[in-house]
Structure 1
Amino acid sequence: MAKTMSALHRIEAKVLASTRKAVALRQKRIAKAMFEIAEMMSAFASVLPDNKVIGFFGPECGLPRSDVRTYLKLAKLSHEDRGSIRKNVASFSTLKALVQVKPEARDEAMQRMAKGTRLGPVDITRIQRDQRLASIGADVLKTKQEASFFTRQARKPVNNIRDFRSRFTEFALSLEEFYFAHLDKFDDMSDAERTAFDQQCAEFKRTAAEALTQFEAIFDVSNLPGIWEQDCYTGMRESNRLARAYHALCDIAKGLFEPWSQGEDGERPGGISAGFVDPYYLDALLWLCGQPTHLNANSSIRPVPSSGEAPSVMPSTRLRSIELCAGAGGQALGLHSAGFDAQVLFERDKDAVATLRQNDWLGEVVAADIKQVDFSRYKDVDLIAGGVPCPGHSNAGKRKGRDDERDLFMEAVGIVGTVRPKAFFFENVKGFNEKPNADYRAELHGMLTDLGYDSRVFAFTGADLGLPQLRPRIALIGFRDGRMRDFHMPPIFPEWASTVGSAIGDLVRANGWEHADAWIEKANRLAPTILGGSHKSNATGFTTNYSKETMEALQLDPTRIADQAPPKGHPADAPFALTHAMAARMQAFPDDWNFHGNLQAKKRQIGNALPPIMARAVGLAIYSALTGEKFDYEQALQMPIVRSETLTQWRDRVGLNGGSRRYHHSQAAELEIQEAGDMGADWDALRA
């Protein structure tokens, strides 16, 4: 028995020794690779600014930004220091600690490691702390650490807000319950009910006074905007909603339960009787406490659902967006279905503008070159999106890239810097993500990093969402405030695979072509990507010479566009051309979406659009990252597209027949307020 145990121990020792050797070898390989990356970055850092280096090695190479900064610091050390670190450091965490501490602490740590002492990140930090303690004394160090602690706390109001919410959320929810309980029977109470009612109001008054005291300790109330600078009907900036919450607490602490909208000596619209809780005050207080509200569907703050909550199929509230280079509205239509209401849509092509205005009302349409627009008025929206012009990156073009005068990506980055949205989503052709544009992407990522945004380029394909064409696209997506870590591209659904025949078969047989069913069976594959071309393009079909043979194999004429489906008597094997309606169906536009313009103008609008279902899928993922709401994508993306009223329908409904401009529930409130006076609209009728 003893011999057996001895043999087992020898085997175990041998295995452990072998494993130790293998681990050491692999650590050396890791260290070698780590320093090779550092040398590459050092070469870049010697000729490029840091933001471009971070933009390339981060989003392009997939390194976390903090790691890139560590490598940059390593690259800036002397050659001698780098060599010494390379000999003694085998883990990235230790490397990171060494480059972050002061030179004196790094030197001492390296001396210890050279003598065989193994140091980790905590050990290296302690060396720096001990050196500092020795130089200034324990009492001085303690005083400085305490001062630093209180400074950090003052810079983190989120901790105070959490405390506020833990104390006063019940107050806000009770106020909401009180509002609905007495909404219809305030004047029909018994004496006992009236006594209980008055006691509840007194309790609200007392609690509001406590909440007001804590609110004023957290926020600088002297710089809050005016309470009615934005209207409640269409969404507000957070600063305005905060101001309204402050005024709500001030009034309720006085026993006044509705806002003062007149002058100081004016009467309140509903008198001063306690018991009428203004719904917009209630909305602001619920928002302040992180609670959803049934009173204003435009609240942009929503608590994260619990892990046990079933995924949503439709967004539970509405967020605000701005659309750049909106085209025919494909991306805007998809984002509208994903929970975003466009404050304004910018488009300079007159035919596309007409298309946007004659279909669903997705927001105010402004016919303008985005280079000429002052975007400072649109600050703090949730999302900026758009199909930023991309002919310089297209495989179908001359690939001028950044040198193409039509490229507006740099302009879009500038707009992001002005507006400061919570997120942005710019779609482009797949050529944007290819090798020749790596330096351009790195520059864009670097600029966005300087603006405080994390950004990445994602590839996605229309065929994965059931389109009858390949439609490869890329999405440049970014978030501020660290929300990129919560973003995930939507799932794909290969089982939704479609074919050209199944997608447009009913349109092909519309004129009674006898061989339509045979063609549908033959067209049992995907089409190449539908293309629109630029204003400079002379192509008369929806494709290029690169995919001509594929279109011909589908019995489709790639050289022209038809004005109607094949008629009766059309030969069985003769090719026919796609109509605008067929191409729009392949792009997943609603069948009743009307395109304005001549043959080429319609072709551009249809072929250049981001299909609504692709925009909807990415939009839901962005919405989820911003709000925490999770979606059942399989169900959500098969729901009918969310439609809005047309301008005519909306005007008929609200009785607004005069005026030279348009208004709509999805339009920006600040536009309504600031421009109402000179638009000639019946403002009272609108607000009613």
Structure 2
Amino acid sequence: MTEQLVLPFLKNSTSLTVVELCAGAGGQALGLHSVGFQPLALVDDDQNCVATLKGNFKEANVYLEDIRTWNPKPFEGVDLLAAGLPCPPFSKAGKQLGSDDERNLFPATLEIINELKPRGIMIENVPGLLEPRFDDFRFEFQEKLRKMGYTCAWKLLNACDYGVSQLRPRVVLVALEKNLASDFSWPYPMEITLPTVGETLYDLMAENGWKQVDEWRQKANRIAPTLVGGSKKHGGPDLGPTRAKKAWASLGVNGHLIAQSAPQPDFKGDPCLTVRMCARLQGFPNHWLFSGKKTATYRQVANAFPPPVAASVGRELFRVLTTTKKVFAVNSRSS
């Protein structure tokens, strides 16, 4: 089973501060929090995501706002600016319109960085962002950061290399003030044997007494394919396009639906995953609460940055940033 990140809310002299844009279900925030970052502000324009964030980060400032209109000024001087910016501008499913996509929030993020002047930056997105067609886009973004005083690098990380039982490649940008950048190193892949889907989800599949759960566990004998979250423009939740559904079917999982509950004792055939099962495959702890109906909660989970991956990068950022730690005071409140 994926290691569970269960920690009390950090609020002490050893923690650093972070503001996160497009925080979603809180996967990146949870991972960063687990290695020492205190979330000061979490911003998202989806009311279900905001309810999820408020339910899990009770002492953070949580904002239901578009980052293009949000006022970051109260948090100037934060240690780290993190973001999980919308993926459709760079994903094949989103037609890869890049700068021409209205959902491209990289320009707004640059404005916030310029206002907050964080010492470090961490942004995650889809692998499509590294395709040659976006070379100019990345170069331009990097140059603007350089002029602000940052040195940055892009890296493709696979979730399965950092303790997540899922084939989930993600692109991460790390930028640091020039005097700190040379101290940063990307985390090395973990040398561990990951549990299979069957092993990871066995107790959840068995919770209603399904008689064939042991047989299913033997069939679900690999790590998971990438969970696909979809967008507000699409219909109900499923595990992705035809190719993804075939990959799930080979593991004995029906990818056409998301179930409300685990299989009943006499269930026959391939079971569907529940939102909680998907959350575990993403590396969320069992106690993490997701707000909204099934479609909304599944999208939050499937679009999330796996907490263990965020923790792996965050741990190195924490090490670098604590070399010249600042003291930060905040007087704002949740809205």
Q: Same fold (TM over 0.5)?
A: yes
Q: Distance in 2 between matches of 1:513 and 1:558?
A: 19
**Per-residue CA distance 1:585-635 (angstroms, 9 max, x = gap):** 101111121111122111110011111111111100111121249xxxxxx
Shift of 1:362: 5.4
Partner of 1:400: 97
CA distance in 2, matches of 1:623, 1:362: 21
8 Å CA contact 1:333, 1:362 repeated in 2: no
Aligned counterpart for 2:198 among listed residues 483, 487, 501? 501
Which has the larger share of helix?
Answer: 1
SS, match of residue 495 in structure 1: coil
Change (3 A) 1:494 1:362: farther
Matched letter for residue 611 of structure 1: P
Deviations 1:519-550 (A, max 9, x none): 11111102211121111122521322232211
Give the letter aligned to residue 596 of structure 1. S
Select the residue among 322, 330, 333 that pairs with 1:670.
330
Return the letter of the residue paired with 1:670. Answer: V
Find the partner of 2:267 among 547, 570, 594: 570
Aligned equivalents of 1:537 and 1:400: distance in 2? 18
CA drift at 1:399: 1.7
Moved over 3 A (4+): none
**What amino acid is aligned across from residue 577 of structure 1 in structure 2?**
C
Q: 2:128 aligned to 405, 418, 431, which one?
A: 431
Partner AA of 2:121 in structure 1: F
1:335 maps to which residue?
32
Q: Is the 8 A contact 1:466 1:498 kept in 2?
A: no
SS in 2 for 1:478: strand
* Deviations 1:207-239 (CA, angstroms, capped at 9, x unpaired): xxxxxxxxxxxxxxxxxxxxxxxxxxxx9xxxx
User: In 1, Cα distance between the equivalents of 2:274 and 2:59?
Assistant: 26
Paired position in structure 1 for 2:274 = 579
Superposed counterparts of 1:136-215, under 5 Å: none
User: What is the root-mean-square deviation in Å for CA atoms of aligned residues?
Assistant: 2.0
2:258 paired residue among 561, 569, 576: 561
**2:171 equivalent to 1:474:** yes
> How far, CA to CA, are the matches of 1:395 and 1:502 in structure 2?
32
Aligned residues: 323
Q: Provide the C-alpha distance between the structure 2 equivalents of 1:598 and 1:592, rounded to a whole number of angstroms.
A: 18
- Residue in 2 that maps onto 1:322: 19
Equivalent pair of 1:350/1:367 in contact (CA under 8 Å): yes
Which amino acid is 2:306 matched to?
P
2:117 is equivalent to residue 417 of structure 1: no
Identity of aligned residues (%): 38
Larger radius of gyration: 1
1:294-336 alpha-carbon deviations (Å, 9 max, x no partner): xx943xxxxxxxxxxxxxxxxxx11111011111111111111
CA distance in 1, matches of 2:65, 2:172: 24
SS of 1:496 mapped into structure 2: coil
Q: Tell me if the contact between 1:585 and 1:591 (Cα under 8 Å) persists in the aligned partners.
A: yes
| Contact 2:158–2:167 (8 Å) recurs in 1 | yes
What does residue 602 of structure 1 align with?
297
**Contact in 1 for aligned 2:224/2:281 (Cα 8 Å):** no
The structural deviation recorded for 1:427 is 0.6
CA distance change for structure 1 residues 396 and 539 in 2, over 3 Å: closer, same or farther?
farther
CA deviation map 1:103-136 (0-9, x unaligned): xxxxxxxxxxxxxxxxxxxxxxxxxxxxxxxxxx
- Match for residue 665 of structure 1? none
**Which residue in 2 is equivalent to 1:627?**
322
Task: Please give the residue correspondences for 1:73-472 in structure 2 after superposition, counting only pairs within 5 Å.
Answer: 297-298=12-13, 317-361=14-58, 363-472=60-169
How far does residue 414 in structure 1 lie from its aligned partner after superposition? 1.6
Partners of 2:242 and 2:98 lie apart in 1 by: 21
2:221 aligned with 1:548: no
Partner of 2:222: 525
Q: Tell me which moved more, 542-551 or 413-422.
A: 542-551
Q: Residue 486 of structure 1 corresponds to which residue in structure 2? A: 183
Is 2:287 the counterpart of 1:592? yes
Q: State the distance in 2 between where 1:516 and 1:397 align.
A: 37
Q: Are the aligned partners of 2:237 and 2:299 in contact in 1 as well (CA < 8 Å)? A: no
Report how far residue 488 of structure 1 moved.
Answer: 0.5
CA distance in 2, matches of 1:337, 1:370: 25
Counterpart-to-counterpart distance in 2, 1:536 and 1:627? 42
Q: Following TM superposition, by how much is the alpha carbon of 1:464 offset from its aligned partner in structure 2, in angstroms? A: 0.9
Tell me, in whole angstroms, the C-alpha distance in 1 between the residues paired with 2:278 and 2:168: 13
Instruction: Report the AA paired with residue 581 of structure 1.
Output: R
Greater CA drift, 319-328 or 535-544:
535-544
CA drift at 1:402? 2.0
Q: CA deviation at 1:360?
A: 3.8
1-side partners of 2:26 and 2:59: how far apart? 8
Q: Is the 2:239–2:245 Cα contact (8 Å) retained in structure 1? A: no
Residue 481 to residue 297, structure 1, CA distance change in 2 (3 Å): farther
SS of residue matched to 1:519: helix
SS of 2:273's partner is: coil
Which residue identity does 2:220 align to in structure 1?
A
Which structure shows the bigger proportion of residues in strand conformation?
A: 2
User: How does the TM-score come out when normalised to structure 1?
Assistant: 0.45
Task: Note the residue ranges of structure 2 that are not aligned, 5 or more in a row.
Answer: 1-9
Q: Deviations over 1:551-595 (max 9, x none)?
A: 111111111110011111112xx1111100100110111112111
How far 1:405 sits from its partner (Å)? 0.7
Unmatched 5+ stretches in structure 1: 1-234, 236-295, 299-316, 630-667, 680-688
